[in-house]
């Protein structure tokens, strides 16, 4: 019999530290590979090591998607960081690490909502 997955546990609010490694691995204008997405994924995997599918970041939203299709949307205060990273030709060299505050907005669908 397959093992039943525990519900996805997500905090109401959290902070992620965007490290130099996240900046080096990040890709400009790629919501899956934004340094904030990489840092948030690392943080959330420490809480739910086998449950997260992806984290996507736009200027207005941080989306967390789970194995069973639930999506949680968060607001974040990293707009200035994203603008600097996406719009500078030498972004990886000129953007400094930052701590980003992430605040819960809403959850949609899935069995673990």
Asked whether residue 93 is domain-assigned, the answer is yes
Kindly report, residue by residue over 78-92, the tens digit of the pLDDT: 999 999 898 877 766
Return the pLDDT at 95: 80
Asked whether residue 3 is domain-assigned, the answer is no
Number of domains in the chain: 1
Asked whether residue 52 is domain-assigned, the answer is yes
Kindly report, residue by residue over 34-92, the tens digit of the pLDDT: 999 999 999 998 887 777 778 999 998 999 987 777 788 999 999 999 998 988 777 66
Structural domain boundaries, residue 62: 13-108
In which residue are the tokens 């605040």 written? 103
Asked whether residue 6 is domain-assigned, the answer is no
**What pTM was computed for the model?**
0.84
The token pair that represents 34 in the structure block: 């934004």
Asked whether residue 76 is domain-assigned, the answer is yes
CB 76 within 8 A of CB 62: yes
Asked whether residue 32 is domain-assigned, the answer is yes
């Amino acid at each position: 019999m397959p093992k039943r997955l525990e519900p996805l546990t997500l905090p109401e609010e959290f902070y992620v530290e965007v490290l130099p490694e996240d900046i080096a691995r990040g890709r400009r204008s790629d919501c899956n590979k934004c340094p904030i997405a990489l840092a948030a994924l690392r943080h959330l995997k420490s809480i739910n090591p086998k449950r997260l599918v992806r984290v996507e970041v736009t200027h207005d939203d941080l989306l967390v998607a789970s194995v069973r299709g639930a999506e949680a949307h968060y607001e974040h205060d990293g707009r200035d960081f994203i603008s600097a990273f996406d719009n500078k030709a030498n972004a990886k060299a000129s953007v400094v690490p930052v701590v980003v505050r992430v605040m819960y907005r809403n959850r949609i669908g899935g069995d673990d909502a």
